[in-house]
Amino acid sequence: MAQKLHIKKGDTVKVIAGNDKGRTGKVLSVKTEDQRAVVEGVNLVSKATKPNAKNTQGGIVKQEAAVHVSNLQLVDPKSGVPTRIGRKVGADGKLVRYAKKSGEEIK
């Protein structure tokens, strides 16, 4: 069953645990059913690929693998530091995410 997660595609996050601890990157995709996210430049793995139209040579390609969302923390858009996320009802009556450190609304 898919759950609501504190991060979305396009967010800037910081890795708080694992081999890439301390790195920041943009979220490329989120898999809610697995509670994992693919972050740009984080958790790079080597993958053997066959020659295709995109890569005519084939061979070993470095690409990002998914990271569990518990190892990621959203970066506050205002101050640029990692922060926790809260949810509150916005002016239009919809739930909006906000940074707990600055109170800034996250788009």
Question: What mean pLDDT comes out for the span 86-103?
Answer: 91
Domains of the chain as residue ranges with CATH = 1-52+60-75 (2.30.30.30), 77-107 (no CATH)
Percentage of the chain beyond pLDDT 90 is 78
pLDDT at 89: 93
Residue-wise pLDDT for 23-53, tens only, equals 999 999 999 999 999 999 999 999 999 999 9
Question: What mean pLDDT comes out for the span 47-68?
Answer: 93
pLDDT-derived band at 107 (thresholds 50, 70, 90) equals confident
Tokens 């996210």 map to which residue? Answer: 37
DSSP-derived secondary structure for 32-70: TTTTEEEETTSSEEEEEE---SS-SS-EEEEEE-EEEGG
